[in-house]
Chains A and B, each alone.
Chain A
């Protein structure tokens, strides 16, 4: 009954059994017909995940995908692993029970902007603060797809939808800002159409000890087509997307003519034209900074309406105590302190009397 421990500094992923023999993408495709709308961004993410899994080399019976409700939450049906398509918003809670009781599993949560940030907002923030060993893929298409096109908690203000014919009044969440504010130890953003970047982010998330939140900008071509076009369009993307790389100066645009500097007066970040004078002041991205302050400031650079100047990549990746590890350690400590549980002694307690016949 002793709980397995992992030496300091090593990866929790090492607790998950390895596959025997080589795996291919095909091994991770289930026999179920994929039923998303033709052209949906979910296909690209599914392909990227199925393509990436063999790289991890984990026994696929030790991989579990848990989802909530929404278009993206059909994801587990298409993965030839264990999976649960649960109820709206609750996947992080269900996955928490699984991950904290079975540390030999690689547990992934697939969720959407409505599922994770609206009905399930509470579970998301608490999973993040606890740092349960979960990998959360948040498909953000800034719309409700499965219920046919109402605005979501990430929709821009003023959005005209079926439920907001005069425009949405809700100020949107920025999922990366939210996650950082909820004490997340790993926060990243990527885009459905950039397979290479998506895979890099998945790799970093899988390797992370604790909760990893990956926001994936995902196009809903039926109800919110082109929501991320500014980040995808060959001509505009170069000026609109800020690629974060740990240890590298944060520069973007054609030939890196733009960069991010800290305003000495306010401490906030701003985008500047890079010049010989200010080049030394360009911020070097540090995803491992103990403080989330700069990561948060980076998450605020994008224009919430146009998404112009959106950072993608790993905002934050820090080591801090993992809930399930500590839970297991408490079980071990309890056995060390009190011995292995003795049911007869427990039932008897300290205060008994005997009736003789």
Chain B
């Protein structure tokens, strides 16, 4: 359970990667007999990767397998990986779309380094993914696509099915397309229509191999194609045909069981959830907890658009979603709604943040609550729209003119996006400030089990609007000063239009302390700049907790955001191998937890893994004069646990 790793017992139990370092199928045969007289082996974890053309429905296939796995009660973690093009040229390497799923009978943290099973729907999928597949792993290949032209398209001069290049793998050649078409011959579909169901055939086969429940998928298909019942039934038939194929064919002699992860999960009711969905729910929950209407101003951008889509579906919660003409108007509308007293949000990715910078600066100056959700992706410029990266940290931190500090909150797992959204709302509302919520493509699209919170346990986010005068002039007149601050939080009053007697004007020009009137006075500007900074510096964030079970570690690994899973998995590997290492993970990057400096000084070495070129490390070094070492990767993919473990070990022994 990736979001529940606070207790030491969970951190060491069932350690991910304690098994064979190559990630081969684990757990020995335990020799039971399955229903078809076939052997059933028990495994403690499996990593499956579905790969095909972007039109082959691999994301849907992965989603379905995930849902079945979640409902079965395994712990799981997913990694969708797809091209930016909606339909890249068929059969080409850039057009390959894949979905990796790691599931286990214990608590796991990442989508896994290397698949135990690869499903390759065509030559491009095989070629693009083979390098990640360890020797001895199983590869299920759709042989129908291994004809001359598709192979030539990706540079296979000879068929890998015949030239011995796959000898090191456990290959299952299956004519998936032919079998699907054959299974659907009574449905009166064209060949092309029938072929489309081949992903469901593959899903059925894998569902048999891993004893997945099937009712959910059949129900799902009938709902999805409710308006085309014949297509729904064809897909169900293909799905069942795939299952039966596994059951009857001799090529698949063994099936596998991965028991539910009963001990890894605290009691409760669970669902599977992706980061973007959890974030959208967190915003709705924050609106309810603050008793303020939610207003989203947004412009579609990958990988953030799902939040706009999701919130648009929940107008019955009083949620207003405004799809603006551009990124600037998206945040502009949100800021206007904030002035009017809404819980205002804008959602975007890096390029959108660049466009919103000036308005964020205005929000800093106006001191109004506003959430800026940045689902980071590869940059600079358009970069890698569908791949993950953490390279907007310094943009969020400094990407504005003038001294314009903005708090930064970073979720660590998909499910944690829910809590992080509530936390960001707390800061925005309490301190009357824009707040960055820095998620990324990996969290956004990845999913994991989530213990559904009791809504009664959610934090109280209610805030107070100003209702009357807050200042007495020398002559005894009671007046309202829009920039007279709360002495504890330094927040200014939130006086919303419609409140009699509090009419006031705010703007981006420097304001006189207290009155908020335009002021070009040098000393006043100096005071206001320092006061705005002090307000952000003084935000109440919890102390950083350090996981250092034996208190013998001399090296601390410090991360932020979505690297939590891979870092924690790597730390477990090291500890299992007897290497002590301490771990801490930041949710609050601005301001840093009060005790961070003291924590850093406790260790001889500090290693900071990031999916950028060392942005947090730069901040750490600047703030604390600590010789933090960067370990970085910017290939659009999350860290792999094994690679990270190796890097940490080298850093420790260096």
Interface residues of chain A, those whose CB is within 8 Å of chain B, are 1, 17, 30, 32, 59-64, 66, 76-77, 79-87, 90, 93-102, 104-105, 122-123, 126, 327, 330-331, 333-335, 337-341, 343-344, 346-349, 351-357
Contact = CB atoms under 8 A, between A and B. Distances in A.
Contacts of A346: 281, 284, 314, 317
Contacts of A347: 281, 285, 452-453, 455
- Interface centre among B314, B325, B328, by most chain A C-beta atoms within 10 angstroms, is B325
Interface string B129-142: 00000000000000
A76 B332 contact: no
A347 B310 CA distance: 13
Given A61-B499, A101-B320, A339-B316, A95 B269 contact: no
Contacts of A327: 320, 322
- Interface centre among A64, A95, A344, A352, by most chain B C-beta atoms within 10 angstroms, is A352
A97 B508 contact: no
- Interface centre among A61, A101, A343, by most chain B C-beta atoms within 10 angstroms, is A101
A340 B511 CA distance: 42
Contacts of A343: 284-285, 288, 317, 455
Contact of B216 (A87, A95, A123, A351): A351
A355 B499 contact: no
Contacts of B71: 351, 353
Interface string B305-333: 00000000011111110101110110011
B174 interface: no
A93 B332 contact: yes
17 contacts: A30-B505, A60-B503, A61-B498, A63-B497, A93-B297, A96-B332, A97-B337, A97-B339, A98-B497, A101-B320, A105-B497, A341-B284, A343-B284, A347-B281, A347-B285, A351-B70, A354-B268
B290 interface: no
Contact of A353 (B266, B270, B455, B508): B270
A348 B272 CA distance: 10
A323 to B, nearest CB: 9
A61 B344 contact: no
Nearest to B318: A1
A64 B340 CA distance: 10
B374 to A, nearest CB: 19
Contact of A344 (B326, B455, B497): B455
A327 B262 CA distance: 46
A1 B505 CA distance: 29
B241 to A, nearest CB: 25
Contact of B337 (A76, A101, A338): A101
- Interface centre among B326, B338, B506, by most chain A C-beta atoms within 10 angstroms, is B506
B336 A93 contact: yes
A101 B295 contact: yes
Given A98-B337, A343-B455, A354-B270, A93 B503 contact: no
Interface stretch (B358-366, B379-387, B635-643): B358-366
A340 B317 CA distance: 6
- Interface centre among B266, B337, B338, by most chain A C-beta atoms within 10 angstroms, is B337
Nearest to B505: A83
Contacts of B340: 97-98, 101-102, 105
B268 A355 contact: yes
A330 B314 CA distance: 11
B537 to A, nearest CB: 25
Nearest to A89: B328
A229 to B, nearest CB: 33
B476 interface: no
Given A61-B497, A61-B500, A82-B497, A97 B334 contact: yes
A82 B503 contact: yes
B509 A84 contact: no
Interface in B333-356: 333-342, 344
A126 B316 CA distance: 26
A84 B506 contact: yes
A331 to B, nearest CB: 5
Nearest to B282: A347
A105 to B, nearest CB: 5
Pairs A-B, 7 closest by C-beta atoms: A97-B336, A85-B507, A93-B332, A97-B333, A341-B317, A334-B315, A93-B329
B266 A355 contact: yes
Interface in B443-478: 452-455
Given A77-B518, A337-B316, A347-B281, A82 B504 contact: yes
A82 B335 CA distance: 15
Contacts of B325: 93, 122-123, 126
A66 to B, nearest CB: 7
Nearest to B332: A93
Given A101-B342, A331-B316, A344-B455, 16 more contacts: A61-B499, A61-B501, A77-B507, A82-B505, A85-B507, A93-B328, A94-B339, A96-B322, A101-B293, A330-B315, A334-B316, A346-B317, A351-B216, A353-B70, A355-B73, A357-B267
Contacts of A331: 315-316, 318, 320
A77 B505 contact: yes
A97 B295 contact: yes
- Interface centre among B72, B318, B336, B502, by most chain A C-beta atoms within 10 angstroms, is B336
Contacts of B362: 86-87
Given A96-B332, A101-B340, A76 B507 contact: yes
A191 to B, nearest CB: 27
A94 B346 CA distance: 13
A341 B329 contact: no
A350 B140 CA distance: 32
A123 B329 contact: yes
B337 A340 contact: no
Interface string B487-500: 00000000001111
B12 interface: no
A61 B502 contact: yes
B337 A122 contact: no
A86 B365 CA distance: 10
Contacts of A348: 269, 271, 452
A351 B272 contact: yes
- Interface centre among B326, B332, B366, B518, by most chain A C-beta atoms within 10 angstroms, is B332
B453 A32 contact: no
Contact of B497 (A32, A102, A335): A102
B300 to A, nearest CB: 15
Contact of A105 (B288, B322, B498, B518): B498
A340 B344 CA distance: 21
A227 B267 CA distance: 76
A122 B329 contact: yes
Given A32-B517, A66-B336, A93-B332, A340 B505 contact: no
A239 B233 CA distance: 77
Contacts of B366: 84
B501 A90 contact: no
Contacts of B499: 61
Contacts of B333: 93-94, 96-97, 100
B452 A94 contact: no
Nearest to A330: B315
Nearest to A357: B267
Contact of B339 (A32, A77, A84): A84
A104 B496 CA distance: 12
Given A32-B517, A86-B507, A352 B269 contact: yes
A83 B265 CA distance: 52
Contacts of A340: 316
B67 interface: yes
Contacts of A32: 505, 517-518
Nearest to B321: A327
Contact of B359 (A90, A122, A334, A349): A90
B210 to A, nearest CB: 17
A64 B73 CA distance: 54
A220 B68 CA distance: 70
Contacts of B336: 66, 84, 93-99, 101
Contacts of B272: 351
Nearest to A66: B336
